Amino acid sequence: MFPDFQVIGMNLYSICMALGLTFALLFVDRVGVKRGFSLALQRGLLVAVVAAMGCGLFFATLFQAFYNWLETGVFVWQGMTFYGGFVGGAAVFLLLWFFVLGRFCKDKKEPIKQFPVIADAAAVAVPMAHGFGRLGCLFAGCCHGRIADVWYALPMRIDGEWVKAVPVQLFEAIFLFALGAALWVLLVKIPQGKRFPLLPVYAVVYGVWRFCIEYARADERGETVVAFLTPSQLTAVVLVAAGAVYFIIWYLRKRRTIMGRTEAVQAFEQGFGAKPTHLFSAAGRINVIGEHVDYCGGQVFPAALNLRCNIYAKKTEGNTVRILLKGIEGIIELDVNRLNDYRDLKYGNYQAGVAYHLQKEGTPIVGCDLYYDCTVPFGSGLSSSAAIEVATAVAFCELAGVAYDKVHLAVISQRAENEYAGVNCGIMDQFASAMGKKDHAVLLNCSTLAYEYVPLELGEYCLVVANCNKPHNLVESKYNVRRQEVETALREIRKVKEVDCLAALSVEEFNELKYLLSGVVEKRAEHVVYECDRVKKAVVALRAGDIEELGRLLNESHYSLRDLYEVTGKELDTLSELARREWACLGSRMIGAGFGGCTISIVKKSAVDGFIKRVGDAYYTTIGYRASFYQTSIEDGITVETLV
Ligand code: GLA
């Protein structure tokens, strides 16, 4: 007369386990983090989801008891033991996770604070909680003397006979702990951004495992797996399917980058009526340390980024270079015989400057169509201009079919910026843009252009690049003033000592000579000499894997740029100070010319999301507008691809 509540309950359990678990976490991850759910709410949801794993069965058995009571008049709640144990075990785990485990972590933070993206935290927490739940079942069953119910065995076929050989609860618990631990290792080792989503890994691996167990059981009971899906088999199938759906969504999002390329090709075709034949690109850059020393002959330590200037290009007949810029209306045309005439262009003057200086050196500039898709944010201090110049230089040389030396292209690009665009910059940006190497920083001596690659290996840490988004104004004129000040310092020092450049002075030599200087000139020179010293120390620290020391040097560099060189400003100071206050951050400083633009911070890989959220929110509260954080990686400087 009544439906079989036990079966309904088992299915409810399946749905709670699989759909409830995976999609609730997916929801919290996508919507919760975007909307800035508090940590407490995230914790609450995690508890709710883990509890849901046990609740389906808990209520199903309660219904069953109620139903039996209606029929027989006797109330016996059998499932209570089993599933009560399960929920109890999971609860014990959560208490451990939230309040105890952190005490044993190196940085004394509860594990979830280290992985503030709930789906990542859950990828570890859920299998662990599940494992504890299994132990809870075992324990509760033993206490009630119902060992047979909980200690029922996983059958194995031995000598053609089915033998109940393995205690299934214990076996499951061990498997789940191992899975949780393996996911934890992946979570800590692979940085956010490079990581594939871990929660579906749990769903798929556990689903497959569950299915195998259920298959073995069904086989033992003489059931055909396909003909009759037991609730547990259903759980397994739904888990695998949910994990697969998650992976597909993730993959489709990733593919958008590839789509970006298709869009650029279409824009080229629309603008110029033909397909591009080449894709040339040069990188934006960060500078690990060594700021405002390149034009003083010092050593700098930049690295090329995945944020780049991409040029889709095609050689044409004639003498016109046609340029289209993504997001800007209209084609800019340059006549290759009048390249000196474009200095005042709002857009296209960098391209004209590079063409002009290449031509002056004897490189033929051929007619061509160029479509620019620059992903280095403009005015960010990540050197969009150098990326544009270097990529343009590569495009012109490649299309003209002339051999080129990358260092030379960097020098030509710098010349274009100095003499054509009128910005008196040093060589660092163009050099990094042309010569950067994947996963390495370039230790460059700006007096001799001798360079060396040093692996940028930060162990458990990574670099986070943040833009303070201060509106830019007068940066170039202030930059040029700093150059004049250090030139004054050098002139004064040369009155008593023969030196090639300020960077050639050791800290000791400078301290003996600084009586010759005063006021801002003394402060500027002091920054240069000490910053050069810090570069050497930083390289030693990095090579020795001493990331804490590297972080300390970054902080010192920032303080010196703030107090002695005076190129920071409230926004950069706030952004780097907020970063420094974070437990996961070893050091933070402004990079580039300053007065606006970006900071870099050394942050624990596993804590990057929380770092970004907290620093971002606090910055907004203090400054009134938002900072931007970029997902960066260290890449090669120049790349050349043929598209047909
Ligand atoms: C700008 C310049 C570089 C360098 C930095 C400061 O990025 O283009 O040459 O001087 O500022 O280190």
pLDDT in tens, 519-545: 999 999 999 999 999 999 999 999 999
Which of 463, 399, 291, 367 has its CA nearest to residue 642?
Answer: 399
Q: Give the residue carrying structure tokens 């008196």.
A: 424
| Cβ proximity of 164 and 152 under 8 Å | yes
- Which range is least confidently modeled, 25-34, 181-190, 211-220? 25-34
Q: Is the pLDDT of residue 155 over 60?
A: no
The pLDDT of residue 15 is 53
- Rounded to whole angstroms, what are the CA distances from 472 to 60, 381, 476, 575? 64, 10, 10, 16
Phi, psi (degrees; rounded to nearest 5) at 228: -135, 105
3-state SS of 131-153?
HHHHHHHHHHHHHCCCHHHHCCE
Which of 529, 550, 544 has its CA nearest to residue 461?
Answer: 550
Q: Distance from the CA of 428 to the center of ligand 1, in angstroms?
A: 6
Q: Give the residue carrying structure tokens 């309904």.
A: 8
Q: Has 344 been annotated as catalytic?
A: no
CATH fit for domain 267-455+637-642, picks 3.30.420.10, 3.40.50.2300, 3.40.50.300, 3.30.230.10: 3.30.230.10
| Cβ proximity of 165 and 220 under 8 Å | no
| Cβ proximity of 57 and 13 under 8 Å | yes
- Which range is least confidently modeled, 151-160, 172-181, 321-330, 349-358? 151-160
Q: How many CB atoms sit inside 10 A of residue 230's CB?
A: 18
Q: How confident is the model at residue 33 (pLDDT cuts 50, 70, 90)?
A: very low
What are the residue boundaries of the structural domains of the chain, listed by start? 6-194, 196-260, 267-455+637-642
DSSP secondary structure of 26-64: HHIIIIIHHTT--HHHHHHHHHHHHHHHHHHHHHHHHHH
Q: Distance from the CA of 211 to the center of ligand 1, in angstroms?
A: 60
Q: Distance from the CA of 290 to the center of ligand 1, in angstroms?
A: 10
How is residue 555 written in tokens? 């902080």
- Rounded to whole angstroms, what are the CA distances from 2 to 5, 64, 74? 8, 10, 17
Atom index in ligand 1 nearest the CA of residue 294 equals 10
Q: Is the pLDDT of residue 225 over 50?
A: no
Pocket lined around ligand 1, Cβ cut-off 6 Å: 291-292, 294-295, 383, 425-426, 428-429, 592-593
The pLDDT of residue 99 is 66
Atom index in ligand 1 nearest the CA of residue 290 equals 12
- Which range is least confidently modeled, 41-50, 54-63, 83-92, 112-121? 112-121
Q: Distance from the CA of 340 to the center of ligand 1, in angstroms?
A: 25
Q: Distance from the CA of 535 to the center of ligand 1, in angstroms?
A: 15
Q: Is the pLDDT of residue 242 over 70?
A: yes
How far is it, in rounded angstroms, from Cα 84 to Cα 387? 62
The pLDDT of residue 57 is 59
Atom index in ligand 1 nearest the CA of residue 426 equals 9
Question: What is the overall mean pLDDT for the chain?
Answer: 83
Which residues are registered as beta bridge partners of 465?
Answer: 600, 630
Q: Whose CA is nearest to atom 8 of ligand 1?
A: 425
Q: pLDDT tens-digit profile of 482-502?
A: 999 999 999 999 999 999 999
Question: Which one from 429, 439, 617, 636 is the annotated catalytic residue?
Answer: 429
The pLDDT of residue 251 is 81
Burial readout 421-452 (b: 16 or more C-beta within 10 A, e: otherwise): bebebbbbbbbbbbbbbeebbbbbebbeeebe
More confident residue, 557 or 422: 557
Q: Distance from the CA of 350 to the center of ligand 1, in angstroms?
A: 17
How is residue 324 written in tokens? 């289209």
How confident is the model over 273-302, as a mean pLDDT? 97
Q: How many CA atoms lie within 13 A of 578 on its CB side?
A: 23
- Which range is least confidently modeled, 122-131, 168-177, 222-231, 526-535? 222-231
* Amino acid sitting at position 138: L
Atom index in ligand 1 nearest the CA of residue 417 equals 8
| Residue of 428, 484, 589 to test ligand 1 pocket, by largest number of atoms within 8 Å of CB | 428
Task: Give pTM, 2 decimals.
Answer: 0.67
The H-or-E segment that residue 465 falls in is: strand 461-467
How far is it, in rounded angstroms, from Cα 147 to Cα 144? 8
Q: Whose CA is nearest to atom 9 of ligand 1?
A: 426
How confident is the model over 448-463, as a mean pLDDT? 94
- Cα 468 to chain centroid, rounded: 18
Could you tell me where the DSSP H helices lie in 315-378? 349-360
Q: Whose CA is nearest to atom 1 of ligand 1?
A: 593
Q: Distance from the CA of 419 to the center of ligand 1, in angstroms?
A: 16
More confident residue, 491 or 130: 491
More confident residue, 69 or 577: 577
Q: How confident is the model at residue 256 (pLDDT cuts 50, 70, 90)?
A: low
Which of 375, 386, 381, 379 has its CA nearest to residue 350?
Answer: 386
Atom index in ligand 1 nearest the CA of residue 593 equals 11
Q: Whose CA is nearest to atom 7 of ligand 1?
A: 592
* Amino acid sitting at position 624: G
The pLDDT of residue 20 is 55
The pLDDT of residue 606 is 83
Q: Whose CA is nearest to atom 2 of ligand 1?
A: 425
Q: Is the pLDDT of residue 150 over 50?
A: no
What is the SS3 assignment for 323? Answer: strand
| Cβ proximity of 133 and 87 under 8 Å | yes
The pLDDT of residue 247 is 82
Q: pLDDT tens-digit profile of 329-375?
A: 899 999 999 999 999 999 999 999 999 999 999 999 999 999 999 99
How is residue 345 written in tokens? 């262009």
| Residue of 289, 380, 425, 476 to test ligand 1 pocket, by largest number of atoms within 8 Å of CB | 425
The pLDDT of residue 1 is 43
Q: Is the pLDDT of residue 620 over 50?
A: yes
Atom index in ligand 1 nearest the CA of residue 427 equals 9
